Amino acid sequence: MILVAPEKIDEYTARGWWGTTTLWDLFASHVRERPEAEAVVDAPNRADFAHGVPRRLSWAMLADEVDRFCGLLLDQGMRRDAVLVVQLPNCVEQFVVYLACARLGIVVTPVPIQYRDHELGHILDVTQAAGAVTFSRIGKPEGGHAAAAMFTGLQAAHPGLARVFAWGDAVGDGVIDIARCTAEAVTPAARERLARAEREVAVTANDVFTICWTSGTEAAPKGVPRSHNEWLIVAPSIIEAGEIRPRARLLNPFPLVNMAGFSTAFASWLRLGGTVVQHQPFTLPVFLQQLREERIDYTVAPPAILNMLLQNEALLEGIDFGRLSRIGSGSAPLSDWMVRGFGEKYGVEIVNYFGSNEGAALSGNHVDIPDPAQRAQFFPRAGVAGYDWSISTTRKIRTRLVDVETGEDILEAGRPGEIRFTGPTIFSGYYRSPALSARAFDEQGFYKTGDLFEIAGDRLQYYRYVGRSKDLVIRGGVNISSEEIENLLLACPGVREAAVVGVPDEMLGEKVCACVVAADGQAPSLDAINGFLREHKRVAVYKLPEYLLPLQALPRNPVGKILKRELREQAKALAATPRRETA
C-alpha cells in the first residue's frame, strides 16, 4: 500500500533523503551481524500489567519468534496491505508483531491500551481492519482489562474483523491462541515458505508500515499513515540530537503506539542496532531501577519528573551518568533550572523535543543551543534559510510562521503565529479522510500544526513555543480532543451544555475539566459523569474529566462562541482550591 504521491517519492529519492531500505532490511542485517547480542528487554514489573514473566531476547531469539508469528499470520490468511490493529502494553511481543508485519507488508495500526469500544469502533470503521492482536488481559491480575474479549465483542458490529489473536493464560473462545499456535519450532520447509512469501510481497520502503492515531480538534481520532521511509527519515532527529551511539541501550517509557515511541524505540533502535529496554506504565521506582541496572545510554522523561528528581538527588544515586549523558524531554515547557542543574551536577545534557504524529518535529540540544536557559524555552529555527544546525533533518524540512488571522508570514520577533512544516518527515494526509487532509495543509503545501510559536534570539535564530490554536487538552503528552468529550457529555443525563478545557498540572502538564450547565438545575456529579462515559460510552480512561466546574451558563462572546479562555481561568482557580471535585 503506497499512499505517497509518485512525484513526492521521486523528489525525495533524488535528493537522497528516501531510499530502498525497509525497516525489515535493517532488522535482518542486525540478526546476521549480531545474532547473540541483546535486542529487547521486558520491564521487571511485567506481572503488574500483563501475563507471563519478563523476558530478554537476543536478535536471533527475536528473529525466531518473528518467523513463528509470520507463519501464523500466513496460516490465518493475513496478506499484504491487510490492516492489523495492535493493542499491547510495552513488551517484547510488540517487536514480534511489528517486525512480522514489516516483513509481510501487513499494515500495523497500533492503539493505546486505554482505548475501548468508543475509540476502537471508529478505528475499525476507518481501517476495515482484518485482524487484531492483543493480550487476554492488560493490567493487574485482579481487575485487569479483558482486552481479547473486548475485540471479540466488537466483531458483530465489524464483520471485517475476522481474526482476534492473543497471548495470555486463557485467551477465551473465538480467539486465536498465539502461544499455542507458535509453539512448534520453525522447520526448514517453513523457513522456505516464509522466504517465498517475503519475495512475493516485495515490500518497498514507500509502502505504508503504520497507521497511528492522533486526536486533534476533530471529534474522532485521525489515522496518520507512515511508510518505512517516513519512519527512517525521522530517526536522525532523535539520534543526532541526543548524540546516541550505535548499539546504545535505550530505556523506553513512551507507549509504543505513536511518534514519540516509534521514532526512538523502533526506527532509531533499528538504525542503531542497539537494545530497547521497555517500561510500562510509568512507575518511578521501576524507572530508576532500570536506569541503575540496565546500563542505559539514553532515555526520555517528562519535565515534571526531571524537576522532581533534581530536587531529590538521593533518588539519582547509583545511576551511571557517564553513560546516561543525554536525556530527552518535552510535551511541556522545561525549567531552565532543571536543564542547568543536570548539566552542572551530573554532566547530563537535556534535549528539548517538540513533535507530532504528522511528522512536525524540532529538537534543541546543547550543540545548537548551549545556554541552558535558552534551551529550556527555544528551538532551532529549522528549515529557514540563513541558519545552520547540527541535526541533518533541519536541512531537509522547511518551516514558516503564519499569522492565523491574516495568513501573512511572520518574520519579526515576538509576534505569535502558527508554525507550519513541509518536507520528507511530514505525512501526506489522514487515512481515508480527504476532507480532513485538505484542511490540514495550506495553499503552499505546508502542514498546519495548530501550534503557536514566535521568533526569538539575537539573530532571530530561534522559535519559542507560546501555545496552541487548536482546542486540545494535552495530558501526559497525549492529545485529547475537547470537541470529542464535549459531544459525549451532551448525551449524559442531566447535562444541557458542556465545554472541556485543560487545567495545569505539575506532573501531567494538563488534566481534563468538564464545564457543565445542568439540564434541570442540579448538575450530575463528577462520579456520575465519569460513570456514564466509562460504562455507556466506553471511553478511554485517560480522557475522563478529573475536575468538574458546574455553571449556570457557559460564557460566550456576542456571536455565541464559547469563551474558553474564561473557562480555563475558572477551572484553574477551581483546581487551586481544596474543595475541588475530582475523579
Q: Hey, which residues does 211 pair with through a beta bridge?
A: 225
Query: How is the chain split into domains, by residue range?
Result: 23-37+47-203, 238-468, 474-576
Q: Which residues of 322-358 are buried (b: 16+ CB within 10 A; e: fewer)?
A: eebbbbbbbbbebbeebbbbbbeebebbbbbbbbbbb
Mean pLDDT, residues 158-170 taken together? 94
Topology of domain 474-576, CATH: GMP Synthetase; Chain A, domain 3 (3.30.300)
The class of domain 238-468 in CATH terms is alpha beta
pLDDT for res 216: 61
Pick one of 3.40.50.980, 3.40.50.300, 3.40.50.150, 3.30.1860.10 as the CATH number of 23-37+47-203.
3.40.50.980
Per this entry, what is the length of the chain?
583
Which pTM does this prediction carry? Answer: 0.85
Whether residue 285 has pLDDT greater than 90: yes
Instruction: Compute CA distances 476 → 28, 255, 394, 468, 488, whole Å.
Output: 35, 11, 27, 16, 22
CA gap 279, 251 in Å, rounded? 7
What is the overall mean pLDDT for the chain?
92
The pLDDT of residue 582 is 43
Question: Could you tell me where the beta strands, DSSP code E, fall in 392-507?
Answer: 398-402, 417-422, 447-456, 462-468, 472-475, 478-481, 495-505
pLDDT in tens, 88-120: 999 999 999 999 999 999 999 999 998 999 889
Instruction: Say if residue 522's pLDDT is above 90.
Output: no
**pLDDT reported for residue 215:** 73
Percent of the chain with pLDDT over 70: 97
**Cβ atoms of residues 430 and 436 within 8 Å:** yes
Neighbouring-strand partners of residue 299: 251, 327
Do the domains spanning 238-468 and 474-576 agree at the CATH topology level? no
